[in-house]
Structures are given as C-alpha cells and as structure tokens.
Amino acid sequence: MPKILIVDDEPFIRLLLEQVLEELEDEGVELITADNGETALDIIRSETPELVFLDVMMPKMNGFDVCNKVKNELGISGVYIVLLTAKGQEFDKQKGADVGADIYMTKPFNPDEVLEKARSILGL
C-alpha cells in the first residue's frame, strides 16, 4: 500500500492537504500526518512513504534539514519529497534543490495541482 506523509505545523494546512488527497485512499493510498520535522523523520525511517509533502518552516527540525537528512545523509531511496512553503524566493528554491527536494511548491498551492502531482508520482 503506497503511503503519503503530510508534514506541516499548521493544523489547517495538514487538514486541507488531507482533504485534497483523501480520494486517493479509495485507490489504496494510506495518509499519514506529522506536525514537526523530528516526527516526520521518524516516520520516514519507519514507514518509508513513497511521497512526502513537507513544510519548510517548522519547529524542532525544518523541512530543509529533514529533506537533507533523508536524501543526502541517510540515503533513503524511493521517497519523493515535495517541499511546500511560503518561501518563494529564488534563494529558497535553490536551497530546496541543494538538499535534494524533488519538487518545490509555494503556498498558497492549487489543490488540483497537489492531487495531480500525487497521482502522477504514485503512478495512479
């Protein structure tokens, strides 16, 4: 069963992403959530989700650090990371690329685009 991890410290953003992606549950996708980077890293290590929607600005461990740890330090393969952030400057996008993010999306995001990306990445 494919898994999607939604990581954001803002409860309403987590809920919005869950609502956008919940129709994928009918196609056998499991949705998991976390509210900080440390918890996200633990879940990625134990559950190895295929797709992670990862906020950048969070307590305990930011999204850049989580992404860097997963992609470059731990070398966990098969995890597709979408950084979701309000930081849309070119510098931030470059930092996202440097830490290994597969996609960098800025908030506010288009829910249809998020669903379409998830379907495409998971091959649904």
18-47 pLDDT, tens per residue? 999 999 999 999 999 999 999 999 999 999
Enclosing domain of residue 53: 3-122
pLDDT grade, residue 17 (50/70/90)? very high
59-94 pLDDT, tens per residue? 899 999 999 999 999 989 999 999 998 877 888 889
Identify the pLDDT of residue 20.
97
pLDDT grade, residue 116 (50/70/90)? very high
- Domain CATH number, residue 118: 3.40.50.2300
The span from the CA of 58 to the CA of 34, in Å, is: 11
Domain count across the chain: 1
Cα angle 58, 45, 48; round to 5: 100
Q: What is the DSSP letter of 89?
A: S
